[in-house]
Amino acid sequence: MIRVGLARTLRHYRGLEAPYGPGKAWPELAPLFGDRAGNGPPNHVYAAVRAALYGLGLDAARFGSEFWNPLGDLVARGSSIVLKPNFIRHWNPHAGASLESVITHGSVVRALADYAFLAAGTEGSVTLAEAPQHDCDFSRIRELAGLDRLVDFYTTTLGRSLDIIDLRREEVRYRDGVVVERRSLPGDPRGYRLVDLERRSCFESSGLDPRRFRGADYDPGPTTLHHTNGHHEYLLSETVLSADLILNLPKLKTHKKTGVTLALKNMVGINGDKNLLPHHCVGSIDEGGDEFPGARALDRVRSRATELARHLLSRGIGVRLVRFIRRLETAARGDQFIRSGNWHGNRTTWRMCVDLNRCLYYSTRSGQHFDAPEPVRRVLSVVDGVVAGEGDGPLSPGDVPLGAIVAACDPIAADLACVRLMGFDESRLPKLAQTMGDTALRITAVRSPDDVEVFEIDADRLEPSRRKLDDITSTRAFAPHPGWRGFVERSTG
């Protein structure tokens, strides 16, 4: 059985301020902080992360003692550990919602960083790395998530460095949905590695035409070029690929192209060129695409107009015209219509997500190990569901006070538990259903939801209850993204 730790706690982050101290002198923190181990006001999120790691069974024999070292079960002293949060962007345009349902909260980062420093020891290193959406202001993310205060805290208190890396090589500014400014960024100081899955990619035998692939930028040329003639290449962070342990810290929320975000999707943020990531195939289903369903004339016209706009914008012309047309379209149609593969018929993005995980789980600092019988990489996923996101995720979700932290060493096990909390049906989510059935380059030991057992625990009482996945139900079903509505919900009959 594949184990998941599910901790229940308060459904908010109120009262928590950077640097998000534990608020209680947990015994295992004494070797790290001495008599300052309990600094700060009460911190229920820290307690929930701790409880989830306990529920997962990490270093179980020493829990409750000063020797408890949960991540020590996964990595040796002196190792390099990378925290990978979800910092997709610095605002939430959803009326009445908050940024709390968009990004991983700083209190979750703090708790895992503490345990990472404990496991790595003074000989090791702890780094936070993320490639947010390319219009994200990362300086605002650092401020809003309290990252700079965390850096200062570790420097002052431990004499240790928490390195923060923006993995992007470019930042852009949009106006009316059109890029009006580009700025180069330093990116990963260790560089990037081009990983080619070749015929091990999920795109092989998919029937999708690489000439229809569309990525994150206007020019589709690079997207197609890197996924042609049996090659499927991704440019990934060397800092991440060379790490000994990845702490994957996603936000629990919906997603327009894959139904949900969670552990698998969070790995999109380890890349250095998002235009190598196929997001959808241009055109309708009957044309060989997955951009939109049906064959409405209006959608076909829009698709062709979008292709013309891409052609113009990639050459730096027509910016004002395209912006004007975008404003007209928004005024006429609003935003609640299916475009750019934002629906359950998207056959592209889930394959890209699984490919990225295959690259990660079968790569080390020495290179790729695609002939290995099982993953060669350790990844611990800890999902922030204290305040989760529903509806128009991942960028504009509504807040869902959930009060949950989910931890697992298997990404599919983590995602299955989260999907059940959302009230969704994993069989309707290809990135989960198809990955469980993979026969090669498996990234999971889960072949069926029956393989997963959940140790649910109240962060205050620390008395785990052993449950089957079927016992984990939604107390308040999430609203899916509009393009997934009526498709992904779990039947209550």
Count of positions (residues) in the chain: 493
Cα 464 from Cα 5, distance rounded (Å): 9
Q: Which has the higher per-residue pLDDT, 57 or 462?
A: 57
Q: Which two tokens stand for residue 195?
A: 């990983």
Structure confidence at residue 461 as a pLDDT band (50, 70, 90) = confident
* Torsion sign (Cα): 415, 416, 422, 428: positive
- Bigger pLDDT: 150 or 306? 150
Give the pLDDT score at 479. Answer: 98
Specify the pLDDT at position 337. Answer: 67
pLDDT in tens, 196-206: 999 999 999 89
pLDDT in tens, 316-375: 776 676 676 667 666 656 666 678 899 999 999 999 999 999 999 999 999 999 999 999
Least confidently predicted of 166-170, 317-321, 393-397, 423-427: 317-321
Q: Which residues contact 492 (CB under 8 A, 6 or more apart)?
A: none
Name the average pLDDT for the chain: 93
- What per-residue confidence (pLDDT) applies to 75? 98
Is the model's pLDDT at 453 over the cut of 90?
Answer: yes
Residue pLDDT, tens place only, 259-310: 999 999 999 999 999 999 999 999 999 999 999 997 777 777 777 777 777 7
Q: Which residues of 207-226 are buried (b: 16+ CB within 10 A; e: fewer)?
A: ebebebbbbbbbebebbbeb
Q: How far apart are CA 146 and CA 108, in angstroms?
A: 11
Half-sphere exposure of 185 (CA within 13 A, CB side): 23
| Distance, CA of 312 to CA of 315 (rounded, Å) | 5
One-letter amino acid at 37 equals A
Task: Report pTM.
Answer: 0.96
pLDDT at 46 over 80: yes
Report how far residue 423's alpha carbon sits from residue 490's, in angstroms, rounded to the nearest whole number: 6
Instruction: Decide if pLDDT at 38 tops 70.
Output: yes
